[in-house]
Chain A
Amino acid sequence: MGDVILTMKGIDKSFPGVHALDHVDLEVRKGEVLALMGENGAGKSTLMKVLTGIYKKDSGTITYEGKEVEFKNTREAQDAGIVIVHQELNMLGHLTVAQNLFIGREFKNGIKIDDKKMNEEAKKLFDRLNVDIDPTETMSKLTVGKQQMCEIAKAVSFDAKVIIFDEPSAALTEAEIEEMFKIIRDLKKKDIAMVYISHRMDEIKVITDRVTVMRDGTYVGTLITNECTKEDIINMMVGRVIYEDPKTVSAVPKDAPVVLKVEHLNAGKMVQDVSFELRKGEILGFSGLMGAGRTETARALFGADPKESGDIYINGQKVTINSPEDAVKAGIGYLSEDRKRYGIVVQKTVAENTTMATMHKFMKGLFIDKKKEEEVAQEYVDALATKTPGVDQLVVNLSGGNQQKVVIAKWLTRDCEILIFDEPTRGIDVGAKNEIYKLMNKLASEGKSIIMISSEMTEILRMSDRIVVMCEGKKTGEIGIEEATQENIMNLATREIN
């Protein structure tokens, strides 16, 4: 194994309310591929952004080629030879391949940009990497795989000594991944160091030399890939202590009636043949890593996105849901993960938000019955213990947890029997979280049925009666809360797909 080229030591970074990185260490050697693993929010991407100057670290040192460095922006990092291949492709769709490769450092001929020379240089680069792409093609016309190759080629063209791959394979087909691995092996021979962030255990095994694991913003440890098993890595990823008591027994009787049955739901790449049942009074947790297709499943079920096929039964009756309107009529409510964007109108009052989905109930002829609206809103404020000075308060002035309660009230006015909570406590502080949990439990005990999508393992284990695990658009398993552990959930969430 080569010499150490890059060392990060004691890197610390906080955002308002979040300690994103807590004295993290990382060491990368020449000619190796280092896997960087961890759950959602473990801090992998943040660490890489600190390295490449996108974020400024609060403390710690970065040593690169024997010298301490601190890059102010990606440009400086690039010039020094550290390049990041982003998770979302950072492509300018309207420009050509060559124009994209050399954006920010165009060849010039006087004041004219020398497109001819750029095309030639791009061609040389692709030849060197054995990639067949026409530099004059418009970027948006390439397949995602080819676009990814361009990103890698771009990284190489900076004379990169360290290349960071942030989930490079997420959107690629098997063949494209194979092609990418060929390039990575090539780069290894050229003594280039690579950091490879991925959730796919099988890829880690094939392409990486060492594995560094992070958890909740801290460094856990580093293993030699050949000498460890998948279970070793998972144990490191999830080995946290759960402070709040996980649910150990489900209160839902085994023979409770099935209120919702979804069969063979298909909607694009992110929802493939998903089937599950939801029982009355049950909280069904949906677990999985980022991009597992959980939100997409919920949106397809709710009619927010078109589905290709699949049957939905409510209380045994087959229903057709082609729009959110249909879903609401069928008694399904959906609380979006992006509350501010889809859930509430922040510049309106608590009362107006509460009745927004049920306007027709509050009409007196042509006019809105303000008094009735406020009475009903007050009922829900009391029932949900929403902290607000009054129902005429603008929602924007409420805390995240109380905003969430307003959204819940909105769906309750519609008499929804099935509620889908997508990341119900995202952006909500700990105290308010507990209240939302209590509220969800109360709703379930009153006979409402809940689907809860959550990326927080602790939340899944604390709340769910049963857990559906998804991975890359497929349901990979279902576990009753009695058997559920962090390990077996993570095992399903990272299962290799053949």
Chain B
Amino acid sequence: MANKKALSKLKGREAIVVGIILVMVVVFSLLSPTFRTYTTFVSLLDSSYYVALMAIGVTFPLITGGVDLSIGTGLISYALFGGYLIVHQEMPVAVGLIACVIMGTIFGVLNGFLVAVMELPPFLATLCTCMINRGIGSLLSGGFGISWPSALSSDGWFRSIFRINSNGKILPVGIILILVLVLVMNFVLKHTKVGRYTIAIGSNKEATRLAGVNVKFYHIFAYTICGFFAGLAAIAYSGTYVTIYPGSGAGFEMDAIGGAIVGGVSASGGVGSIIGTFLGVIVICLMKVGLPFIGLQANWQQIITGLILIGAVLIDVVKKRKV
């Protein structure tokens, strides 16, 4: 009953995405007995944390009508930086965690500055910082992978933010953190000035400026939120995977952006919700984890992801044409 009520509160688009998720779960479960196991469930969640965090962040630039392509290689670069401090400089783990977030935030501000003040096209500006990040990551690590402390070592406490090993049973507690952040950022987007002006900029930037809003500030802020969450995603990635490899990370941003678009964020700006983004991320991650169970390997996943995105964007375009 309570569930039904919660469902009816979701808006049209979000309800559709929930429906898609249910259909996918049912289909995968029917076709593959190994899919419907606890282990799969946990690995699904593990692989969704960093995507979800990136997606929450990138929703803000997307709603302003822009994009942030730097979060994928950024994530790896920040995680390498944190790992470098912990492993090679023997600093406390907490310092490494904070370093991830600070570096992410700095790159967020930089992206925001390039877009809002220097007026570079977001696609171009963040493509450049994407490449810069990849270079920084390789430089820091000297080209070798860096492993953050393992769960068994005394410094591995940070991994229990995301999963707790209780008598051989793994509890995916990271999802609680993600859900809390989803609710918090949903509130920020819907009920605070930052969120309101993010939508306003995506809706009509000039009109927002003429209303006396400091558009540049809020535009930068949107990218800063994105960078901050890329930093959090770096922590989630380091907390769920063993080794961070320099040079990886390209393409991660597409999962996050794809999730946001599937969840109803308009590629032309002005429209979107964090809850929708989160649901969209679940769709993307379900596919990545689920398709191999029914015998479709990576290449098929990409093709199907592409098709789903076209579908999601088409809904957007068709709706607009009607108006």
Report A's interface with B, CB cutoff 8 A: 54, 73-75, 78, 86, 90-95, 99, 103-106, 108, 111-113, 115, 140
Within 8 A of A (CB), among B194-222: 196, 199-200, 202-204, 206-208, 210-213
Residues of A within 8 A of B211 (CB): 74-75, 90, 103-104
Residues of A within 8 A of B6 (CB): none
Number of chain B residues close to chain A: CB under 8 A: 20
A95 touches B191 (CB 8 A): no
Q: Report the bound CA distance from A75 to B210 in whole Å.
A: 8
A99 touches B210 (CB 8 A): no
B203 touches A95 (CB 8 A): yes
Among A90, A92, A140, the one with the most B-chain Cβ atoms within 10 Å of its Cβ is A92
A74 touches B203 (CB 8 A): no
B280 on interface, CB distance cutoff 8 Å: no
Q: How far is the CB of B222 from chain A (nearest CB, A)?
A: 15
* Closest Cβ neighbor of B272 among chain A residues: A94
B208 touches A92 (CB 8 A): yes
B108 on interface, CB distance cutoff 8 Å: no
B192 touches A92 (CB 8 A): no
A94 touches B206 (CB 8 A): no
Q: Report the bound CA distance from A25 to B157 in whole Å.
A: 74
- B210's partner among A90, A108, A113, A140 (CB-CB below 8 A) is A90
Residues of B within 8 A of A92 (CB): 199-200, 203-204, 207-208, 270
Report B's interface with A, CB cutoff 8 A: 187, 191-193, 196, 199-200, 202-204, 206-208, 210-213, 270-271, 323
Q: Report the bound CA distance from A108 to B210 in whole Å.
A: 21
Q: Report the bound CA distance from A74 to B193 in whole Å.
A: 20
* Closest Cβ neighbor of B207 among chain A residues: A90
Residues of B within 8 A of A73 (CB): 212
B196 touches A99 (CB 8 A): yes
Q: How far is the CB of A140 from chain B (nearest CB, A)?
A: 7
- B207's partner among A91, A99, A106 (CB-CB below 8 A) is A91
A93 touches B191 (CB 8 A): no
B212 touches A93 (CB 8 A): no
* Closest Cβ neighbor of A103 among chain B residues: B211
* Closest Cβ neighbor of A108 among chain B residues: B193
Q: How far is the CB of A54 from chain B (nearest CB, A)?
A: 8
Q: A112-B192, A115-B191 are in contact. Are A75 and B212 (CB under 8 A)?
A: yes
Q: How far is the CB of A466 from chain B (nearest CB, A)?
A: 40
Among A74, A105, A106, A113, the one with the most B-chain Cβ atoms within 10 Å of its Cβ is A113
Closest 6 CB pairs of A and B: A75-B212, A90-B207, A92-B203, A94-B270, A104-B211, A104-B212
* Closest Cβ neighbor of A73 among chain B residues: B212
Q: How far is the CB of B65 from chain A (nearest CB, A)?
A: 11
Q: How far is the CB of B210 from chain A (nearest CB, A)?
A: 5
* Closest Cβ neighbor of B202 among chain A residues: A94
- A103's partner among B191, B192, B208, B270 (CB-CB below 8 A) is B208
> Can you name 15 A-B pairs with beta carbons within 8 Å?
A78-B212, A90-B206, A90-B211, A91-B207, A92-B199, A92-B203, A93-B203, A94-B203, A94-B270, A95-B200, A103-B208, A103-B213, A104-B212, A106-B193, A112-B187
- B192's partner among A86, A104, A113 (CB-CB below 8 A) is A113
* Closest Cβ neighbor of A93 among chain B residues: B203
Q: How far is the CB of B62 from chain A (nearest CB, A)?
A: 13
Q: Report the bound CA distance from A73 to B202 in whole Å.
A: 22
Q: Report the bound CA distance from A115 to B199 in whole Å.
A: 15
Residues of A within 8 A of B213 (CB): 103-104
Q: Report the bound CA distance from A456 to B307 in whole Å.
A: 52
Residues of B within 8 A of A90 (CB): 204, 206-207, 210-211
Q: How far is the CB of B282 from chain A (nearest CB, A)?
A: 25
Residues of A within 8 A of B207 (CB): 90-92
Residues of B within 8 A of A111 (CB): 192
Q: How far is the CB of A273 from chain B (nearest CB, A)?
A: 27
Q: How far is the CB of A32 from chain B (nearest CB, A)?
A: 26
Among A73, A86, A104, the one with the most B-chain Cβ atoms within 10 Å of its Cβ is A104
Q: A93-B203, A93-B204 are in contact. Are A74 and B212 (CB under 8 A)?
A: yes
Among A78, A95, A140, the one with the most B-chain Cβ atoms within 10 Å of its Cβ is A95
Q: Report the bound CA distance from A73 to B193 in whole Å.
A: 21
Residues of A within 8 A of B193 (CB): 106, 108, 113
* Closest Cβ neighbor of B323 among chain A residues: A140
- A113's partner among B196, B203, B204, B208 (CB-CB below 8 A) is B196
Residues of B within 8 A of A99 (CB): 196
Q: Report the bound CA distance from A416 to B199 in whole Å.
A: 47
Q: How far is the CB of B202 from chain A (nearest CB, A)?
A: 7
Q: Report the bound CA distance from A113 to B270 in whole Å.
A: 18
Q: Report the bound CA distance from A75 to B271 in whole Å.
A: 26
Residues of A within 8 A of B202 (CB): 94
Q: Report the bound CA distance from A289 to B149 in whole Å.
A: 73
Residues of A within 8 A of B271 (CB): 94
Q: Report the bound CA distance from A481 to B200 in whole Å.
A: 50
* Closest Cβ neighbor of A75 among chain B residues: B212
A106 touches B196 (CB 8 A): yes
Residues of A within 8 A of B199 (CB): 92, 94-95
Q: Report the bound CA distance from A411 to B208 in whole Å.
A: 41
Q: How far is the CB of A153 from chain B (nearest CB, A)?
A: 14
* Closest Cβ neighbor of A114 among chain B residues: B191
Residues of B within 8 A of A74 (CB): 210-212
Q: Report the bound CA distance from A93 to B268 in whole Å.
A: 13
Q: How far is the CB of A167 from chain B (nearest CB, A)?
A: 16
Q: Report the bound CA distance from A178 to B200 in whole Å.
A: 31
* Closest Cβ neighbor of B205 among chain A residues: A92
Q: Report the bound CA distance from A95 to B196 in whole Å.
A: 9
Residues of B within 8 A of A94 (CB): 199, 202-203, 270-271
Residues of A within 8 A of B208 (CB): 92, 103-104
Q: Report the bound CA distance from A115 to B192 in whole Å.
A: 10
* Closest Cβ neighbor of A111 among chain B residues: B192
* Closest Cβ neighbor of B187 among chain A residues: A112
* Closest Cβ neighbor of A77 among chain B residues: B212
Q: Report the bound CA distance from A104 to B210 in whole Å.
A: 9
Known pairs A103-B200, A103-B211; list 5 more (Cβ under 8 Å): A54-B210, A74-B211, A90-B211, A94-B270, A95-B203
Residues of A within 8 A of B270 (CB): 92-94
* Closest Cβ neighbor of B63 among chain A residues: A94
* Closest Cβ neighbor of A109 among chain B residues: B191
Q: Report the bound CA distance from A105 to B197 in whole Å.
A: 11
Residues of B within 8 A of A95 (CB): 196, 199-200, 203
Q: A94-B271, A104-B213 are in contact. Are A112 and B191 (CB under 8 A)?
A: yes
* Closest Cβ neighbor of B194 among chain A residues: A111
Q: How far is the CB of B235 from chain A (nearest CB, A)?
A: 25
Q: Report the bound CA distance from A447 to B255 in whole Å.
A: 61
* Closest Cβ neighbor of A84 among chain B residues: B210
Q: How far is the CB of A117 from chain B (nearest CB, A)?
A: 13
Residues of B within 8 A of A105 (CB): 212
Q: Report the bound CA distance from A420 to B193 in whole Å.
A: 49
A91 touches B192 (CB 8 A): no
Q: Report the bound CA distance from A73 to B270 in whole Å.
A: 25
Among B199, B211, B323, the one with the most A-chain Cβ atoms within 10 Å of its Cβ is B211
